[in-house]
Amino acid sequence: MRSIPALVLGYLTAIGGPADETPRAPLSAGMTKPAIAEIDQALGFGLAPQASAFDAALDTPKRLVTTGGRVISLPNGCRTVSRPFDLLIHFHGAPPSLEPAFERSDIDGVLVILNLGNGSGRYDEAFRYAGSFDALLQRTQMALHDMCPNAVSSIGRIGLSAWSAGYGAVFRILDQQRDAARVDAVLLADGLHASFEPGGRAEHRIAVEQIAPFLTFADEAVAGKKLFALTHSAITTPYASTTQTADFLLAQESVDRAAPTAPAPRPGMKPTSRGDSGNFHVMGFDGANEQAHCDHLHAFGDTLLPYLKQRWR
């Protein structure tokens, strides 16, 4: 790396004369941070863009728990919402696991966590009627105005995520065409279930109407228009398990399972397979007990959020 300063100085000399007024990309474009730091040190000035001065009113992390039980988190403070901002709404999950995972993901957006109790029926019922999703977005905007007075812009991209029973809310939102059109990404952590057709349990024939909105979203993800990523355990259930619903989606999208390539995200959480096509991703894991199920929530930041970060980078 000793030759880098000389090369850079030569480059500056070649392009930096008064007669050369052609707009050029920043010299630091495409460089890694260590390379920029080494050149900065050698030249005595900075190539890296200067960060905005810290503003306590804009950059201090914000968190609000509403009377309705929603948790709204702004890891990067009010500056995030001072321009059109990305919003991830998570249904069913412990904030002590989800908030640190979202912060570590480095996604510059807003996280909303909504817990309505046990059972997918509670989530299904909450978003069964037209306008329910709009109402949630409006309440979120109002809460953000309270958190960041005079600094709130409009909602940009919207992602929905869920663990376990929370998929019921995602199902209902995607089942409304107008609402589904607003959703850019869906992340499901061991939480996609469905019933079997009448008399079809022995043959594992899934009731298509109960998975149709997810299939439509998978179609769009395969085409690169949306992001749909999900994980599943090996837990068996009297209704269609997360393994069986994943198998159904993979078959409908003509995606084969392959050997896993990523390491275990948590001790004891063994990857068994993966299937990928476009922006549609399925990750299978071993484990058939309660702890295995909970692992999918705690590993959310390692398994699913990286896909969202890549899409929203």
* The predicted structure's pLDDT at residue 50: 57
Q: Give the tens place of pLDDT for each residue, 145-183.
A: 999 998 789 999 999 999 999 999 999 999 999 999 999
* Domain co-membership, 134 together with 280: yes
Token pair listed for 50: 């200067």
| Claim to verify: residue 138 and residue 164 sit in the same structural domain | yes
pLDDT in tens, 70-103: 999 999 999 999 999 999 999 999 999 999 999 9
- Whether the predicted pLDDT of 238 surpasses 60: yes
Q: Please answer whether residues 166 and 90 qualify as being in contact, where contact means their C-beta atoms are separated by less than 8 angstroms.
A: yes
Residue 51 lies in a domain: no
Kindly state whether residue 52 falls inside one of the protein's structural domains: no
pTM equals 0.83
Residue 55 in domain: no
Q: Following DSSP, what letter does each residue of 233-259 receive, concatenated?
A: -----SSB-HHHHHHHHHHHTT---B-
Report the domain count for the chain. 2
Amino acid at site 281: H
Question: Which amino acid is located at 232 in the chain?
Answer: H
Token representation of residue 111: 């996280």
Q: Are residue 137 and residue 278 in the same domain, yes or no?
A: yes
Sheet holding 280-285, edge to edge: 62-65, 71-74, 109-114, 85-91, 155-163, 183-189, 227-232, 280-285, 271-277
Instruction: Say yes or no to pLDDT of 294 above 60.
Output: yes
Is 124 in the same domain as 263?
yes
CATH of the domain at 121: 3.40.50.1820
Residue 53 lies in a domain: no
Tell whether 107 and 184 lie within a shared domain: yes
Bridge partners of 275, per DSSP, are 282
Predicted confidence at residue 106, as pLDDT, reads 95
Are 39 and 72 members of one domain?
Answer: no
* Residue range of the domain that includes 125: 60-312
